[in-house]
Structure 1
Amino acid sequence: MLVSQGVDAALAGVLGLLIGSFLNVVIYRLPKMLEQQWAAECASLNGGEAPAAERFNLMVPHSRCQQCGHAIRWYENIPVLSYLVLRGKCSSCRTPISLRYPLVELVTAALFAWSVWHMPGQSGSLAWCGFAAALLALALIDWDTTLLPDDITLPLLWAGLLASIAGFTGVSLTNAVWGAVAGYTSLWAVYWLFKLTTGKEGMGYGDFKLFAAFGAWFGWQALVPIILMASVIGVIIGLALKFNSGLREGGYVPFGPFLAGAGFTAMLFGPDAILRVIGL
């Protein structure tokens, strides 16, 4: 039994490497796709036409070196292995390749292997693999661009409700629905209270939707532990960035990555463990 489970986890890890490679594409391209879409919509509203642009989506054009334009061959795009063989540099111009690419692949592989090892049932494991992949992509997109795209947050929310119906999460549909409602409205209320008090926006609407998705996946009871853990992670990372002069202009740090960190904590250890970690 354990041998079979180990084989399944190993295969899931391999799948995770491949999905992680695709997530790198999503993290880089999806914000740019949204920017093109918004530019086209703005031009249409102004009665003009958007400037002609090269076809750009998750599939085309083929991946290239951002420095020299070298087309990345299939054997240069094997997860982790190609990075090691190339010693972390473009094969053409020798420009360093970000270490984040293989790290995303490895983290995704580890999350997939963990899901298959710990979560009951093949379908349930795949559901949690999807949750982990979506959450990782959201965290890094938000960190890079301060965006939490609806293209990911809303499917994640609906997937949580469907996973509840299928029995993959151990959360009743009633608790999942109320979790989604409470997750959205709670941060919505905080947003408006902060804005009316200070005149500033403390977070974006994507944070509401991501928190609603957590409510759907973990139930309304998990929302307080998750938001507390997100706040703790935010304080720790915020202080680290401040002392290392890593804060962006204006001192703004997106909240989505901290929410994602709390979501991963709830996935790996359970919401109750969060309360124990922070001493409550």
Structure 2
Amino acid sequence: MTNPILQYLSANPDYFAGVIFFFGLIFGSFFNVVIYRVPVMMQLEWLENCRDFIKDMFGALPKELDKHPQSLPQPPFNIAKPDSTCPHCGHRIRWYENIPVASYLALKGKCSHCSNPISLRYPIIELVTGGLSCFAAIQFGFSWETAAALVFTWVLICLTMIDFDHKLLPDQMTLPLLWLGLLLNINGMFASLQDAVIGAAVGYMCLWSLYWVFKLLTGKEGMGYGDFKLLAALGAWMGWQYLLLILVLSSMVGAVVGISLILIKGRDKNIPIPFGPYLAAAGWIAFFWGEAILSHYQSLLR
């Protein structure tokens, strides 16, 4: 017998969207942890790998390298441990102080222990995650497509913020996103399997080629390998037909933001700007509106 709760959600799309919004807020709170901790976990892993390499090469680790850097937390450090704390006073955040959005409003944006301000980005990420999740539920309804679109949206949110903060696009996120896109399209959920495989290959190779052309001409690295993998993942989800649209949209937004930062804030033009957030935003737009955008463009050419 079909679960009555699932039956009700399927028959009431507005209620279903509201439930997804609520869970989006909860996941948004969790993503705040992921966005902060994954880059730190990567640094700890790199540190340990470097130590192992030196030990293998020289048989011993110099004393100065054996000390744990003060800028990094002491292990164990992962998504679950240690408990979340205030960055100012170390106060352990209790469960009722970690309710999405509501706790921030109840605490008036300040730590309950030291009264230092809590960054506004935390409730913003929670609200953005809830809003985009709700939109995905409205677009696809009660379906497996909604579940897939939620995962797609959530991973892009995390990648956007991590790249914005650290100029990193972790393989732990880009590669599973790529493989999941290919698996979902075995039966053509969003694109044919052939288009998805070509999209993944072409997505990676086109940015890889641009990277080497730019490096040979200027001697500088214009982007990172994470960008190649992210575009490959977007191609795996949507097919090769959307790659040009994604590149055009991301380049336009990136150019506008970059020029604005230089003109308005006086940002040094030599400081690199992460491309991942623009790729992620363009990919999300193409995922939901790409077909309409391409159809409109084709109609203008007739």
TM-score, normalising length: structure 2: 0.87
Larger Rg: 2
Question: Deviation per CA, 1:34-87, whole angstroms, max 9, x where unpaired?
Answer: 000000001111115665633100000000000100100000000000011111
Greater mean alpha carbon deviation, residues 247-256 or residues 61-70: 247-256
Where structure 1 has 5 or more consecutive residues not aligned to the other structure, the ranges are none
Match of 2:111 among 87, 90, 105: 90
Contact 1:191/1:201, CA 8 A, preserved across alignment = yes
Contact 1:13/1:110, CA 8 A, preserved across alignment = yes
Greater mean alpha carbon deviation, residues 76-85 or residues 39-48: 39-48
CA distance in 2, matches of 1:120, 1:207: 31
Call closer, same or farther: CA 1:274–1:230 in 2, change over 3 Å. Answer: farther
The AA in structure 2 aligned to 1:77 is N
**Partner of 1:148: helix, strand, or coil?**
coil
1:182 aligns with 2:202: yes
Match of 2:248 among 212, 225, 228: 228
Where structure 2 has 5 or more consecutive residues not aligned to the other structure, the ranges are 1-8, 69-73
Residue 173 of structure 1 is matched in structure 2 by: 193
Greater mean alpha carbon deviation, residues 59-68 or residues 117-126: 117-126
CA distance in 1, matches of 2:285, 2:266: 25
Call closer, same or farther: CA 1:168–1:275 in 2, change over 3 Å. Answer: closer
1:68 aligns with 2:76: no
Question: Deviation per CA, 1:167-217, whole angstroms, max 9, x where unpaired?
Answer: 432x00000000000000000000001111111100000000000001001
1:147-162 superposed matches below 5 A: 147-162=168-183
Residue 13 of structure 1 is matched in structure 2 by: 21
CA distance in 1, matches of 2:19, 2:294: 30
CA distance in 1, matches of 2:258, 2:108: 32
Match of 2:276 among 240, 256, 264: 256
Question: Deviation per CA, 1:109-138, whole angstroms, max 9, x where unpaired?
Answer: 111111111115521101100000000100
Contact 2:187/2:193, CA 8 A, preserved across alignment = no
Call closer, same or farther: CA 1:144–1:71 in 2, change over 3 Å. Answer: same
Question: Deviation per CA, 1:3-41, whole angstroms, max 9, x where unpaired?
Answer: 700111111111101111111001000000000000000
1:129-168 superposed matches below 5 A: 129-168=150-189
Cα RMSD, aligned residues only = 2.0
1:25 aligns with 2:33: yes
Identity of aligned residues (%): 47
Compute the displacement of 1:235 (Å): 1.0
Greater mean alpha carbon deviation, residues 257-266 or residues 59-68: 257-266
Contact 1:233/1:261, CA 8 A, preserved across alignment = no
**Partner of 1:240: helix, strand, or coil?**
helix
Call closer, same or farther: CA 1:157–1:2 in 2, change over 3 Å. Answer: closer
Contact 1:229/1:274, CA 8 A, preserved across alignment = no
The AA in structure 2 aligned to 1:155 is P
**Partner of 2:280: helix, strand, or coil?**
helix
CA distance in 2, matches of 1:164, 1:149: 23
Contact 1:195/1:201, CA 8 A, preserved across alignment = yes
Contact 2:10/2:142, CA 8 A, preserved across alignment = no
Contact 1:55/1:61, CA 8 A, preserved across alignment = yes
CA distance in 1, matches of 2:249, 2:280: 10
1:210 aligns with 2:230: yes
Question: Deviation per CA, 1:126-161, whole angstroms, max 9, x where unpaired?
Answer: 110000000010011000000000000001101111
